[in-house]
Chain A
Amino acid sequence: MKITARQYGEILMESLYNKNEGDTKTIIKKFFLILKRNNDLALGEKIVKEFEKAWNKKYGLEEAEVTTVSEIDKETAQIIKDYVRRESGAKTVSIKNNLDKNILGGAIIRYGDKIINLSLSQKLDNFKNQIVK
């Protein structure tokens, strides 16, 4: 049977769990050899993603992405972190701040498969949809 990227990612995470640095290196090397033998090297990128997902789940990590026009201050970041922690049930939340002038104002928060779009561009779009029929 074919092994999916998700299965590879989970297996890798399981085998790397609670290992020291030396072990980690050998495990990764062996994992690579298995991939090569199975002719699954093309899945590499996907496996990395799945591995990250599985790792984050195991350690209760959640990565939130915040898109704003200008960089957010620490206070706001903390508020967002608290919110995401509350909503997703993760233990630790890290924040990545993307800058995008096109959203005009407000913020777009993204974590897991949730998205909260509070950008000004979205609001204006909605407003336009409401009055132009």
Chain B
Amino acid sequence: MINKDTIVKELRKSIHDFKSESEATSQTVGYVMEAGDGIARVSGLSDVMMSEMLEFKTEEGSIYGVALNLEEDRVGAIILGDPKTIKEGDEVVGLKRIFEVPVGEAVIGRVVNSLGEPIDGKGAIKSDKSYPIEKIAPGVITRESVTQPVQTGVKAIDAMIPIGRGQRELIIGDRQIGKTAIAIDTIINQRGQNMKCIYVAIGQKEAKIASIVAKLTEHKAMEYTTVVLASAADPASLLYVAPYAGCAMAEYFLDKGEDVLIVYDDLSKHAVAYREISLLLRRPPGREAYPGDVFYLHSRLLERSCKLNKNYGGGSITALPIIETQAGDVSAYIPTNVISITDGQIYLEPDLFYQGNRPAVNAGLSVSRVGSAAQTKAMKKVAGKMRLEAAQYRELAAFAQFGSDLDSDTKSKLERGKRLIEIFKQDQFKPVPVANQVVVFYALINGFMDNVPVLKISQFEEELNNYLSNYGAPVLKEIQDKGVLSPELETKVSTLINEFKESVDYLEKQKSE
């Protein structure tokens, strides 16, 4: 209920303001000339600004839009809402501000649409703050190089393609190959890592999002996650706005000095939605019928991900944009654009996927331009060797297909490589903590696994992890907290692994030289 005092106060204020505000209320109006396909052409609105929010006054209440085309005698605008209710001749008012979405702690744990309205049936979002969806990215003086890691919990990524807080790492691959799975695993693994997560679904099936939300809830990941959904059924204008809205929500936490992870799933559909809008607005088409500014479309979005320095709060936005390729064609227009914008890419390959290497990360084509700056010292120590071994294995494996007459050194490298590939296999929704990863990688590169049969590697790893949680908790904690693998710690780890191998070791290969 509204308190009486508030009413009296507001009433007084309004009466007081009534006289003084008489000059400020001049508004620019226009009239709808035509509306359809989610866009409208409006006459008048002579001093409307680019990206200004417009209010369409229809019989069924107000609908908002954004001015995108300023022409000689008309304005082209996208309609954010049900376009059917807008009729020719309806009044349109320029609101003199950029479109805003509600932000704040209240959006955490919610599923919202591109306008920040809840669509999860959990009631209204009580937030008094809102941020504009378009904002200029932070400048050079506010930034800092990436130093802190984002633990994805995916072994292949944490070891070979480390991601740092404030980095933009593209996940690219064909359809149905586990791109979303990597992103979701990463979100699940952020539990207790002091990260807020925002998952922006652009043009996805609502059934898929429902199952993702269910999975996130099951893993208690919704406690720090917001899902921004512009489904395949939504008009192109909402798909176009969704990633910017998600980014605005992330920027709120950035300004508070917190770390945010934002997933754009996926930007190819975003580009397609933008193409649709552009063509309807009669902008000239370019390559693959995309308008001339598709590059800017994504670069201005991804540039807003950053790591701020201490003077500016020290927050960060890590972006994981996803791009879907057609038949593995990474040299298409949108993939090349986004590859060049981001600080590296995780390339997922169908061949690997069907061979059973899941996640199907192609270690050769995947890179992280931030590199090992975003790894803890302990991880750096073991992962450096892992990368090297993986590269050597790839080379030898291709070579060794021609003959079996190999020297013992090559043979042992090949055997090690096979185990390495096995180690990188990982089930979905089972992120591995860093400390465990360090121990497992340590075991592999120091030959502790050389006498475990290749087919038993995953079992061995699972049992090792169980053993560690029972007997190795203090060691894991030390690795986790210190982030350094000191010689003393190394001996502790190797004794642990040896103990484990002795106690549970029923898989021992007969001859170990």
A and B: partners? yes
Partner of B28, one of A114, A118, A132: A114
- Size of interface on A: residues with Cβ below 8 Å to B: 16
Query: Nearest Cβ in chain A — how far from B409, in angstroms?
Result: 74
Given contacts A6-B73, A114-B28, A115-B27, contact A127 B14 (CB under 8 A): yes
Given contacts A113-B28, A117-B27, contact A127 B10 (CB under 8 A): yes
Inter-chain contact B25/A116, CB cutoff 8 Å? yes
Which residues in A have their C-beta under 8 angstroms from that of B25? 116-118
C-beta contact mask, B201-231 vs A, less than 8 Å → 1, else 0? 0000000000000000000000000000000
Query: Nearest Cβ in chain A — how far from B163, in angstroms?
Result: 40
A19 sits at the interface (CB 8 A): no
With the chains together, A15 CA to B28 CA distance in Å?
32
Inter-chain contact B10/A116, CB cutoff 8 Å? no
A131 sits at the interface (CB 8 A): yes
What is the predominant secondary structure among interface residues of chain A facing chain B? mixed
A-B CB contacts (within 8 Å), total count: 41
With the chains together, A87 CA to B43 CA distance in Å?
20
B2 sits at the interface (CB 8 A): yes
C-beta contact mask, A93-128 vs B, less than 8 Å → 1, else 0? 000000000000000001011111110000100110
Inter-chain contact B46/A116, CB cutoff 8 Å? no
Inter-chain contact A131/B6, CB cutoff 8 Å? yes
Partner of B18, one of A6, A115, A123: A123
With the chains together, A132 CA to B315 CA distance in Å?
35
With the chains together, A9 CA to B481 CA distance in Å?
78
Given contacts A130-B10, A131-B7, A131-B10, contact A114 B18 (CB under 8 A): no
With the chains together, A6 CA to B44 CA distance in Å?
13
Closest A residue by C-beta to B42 = A113
Query: Nearest Cβ in chain A — how far from B32, in angstroms?
Result: 13
B13-45 residues with Cβ-Cβ distance < 8 A to A are 14, 18, 22, 25-30, 43-45
A and B contact pairs by CB, cutoff 8 A, 20 listed? A112-B44, A112-B46, A113-B28, A113-B29, A113-B30, A113-B43, A113-B44, A113-B45, A113-B46, A114-B26, A114-B29, A115-B26, A116-B26, A117-B27, A118-B25, A123-B18, A127-B14, A131-B6, A131-B10, A132-B2
Residues of A in contact with B (beta carbons under 8 Å apart): 6, 87, 110, 112-118, 123, 126-127, 130-132
Residues of B in contact with A (beta carbons under 8 Å apart): 2, 6-7, 10-11, 14, 18, 22, 25-30, 43-46, 73, 93
Closest 3 CB pairs of A and B: A113-B44, A115-B29, A116-B26
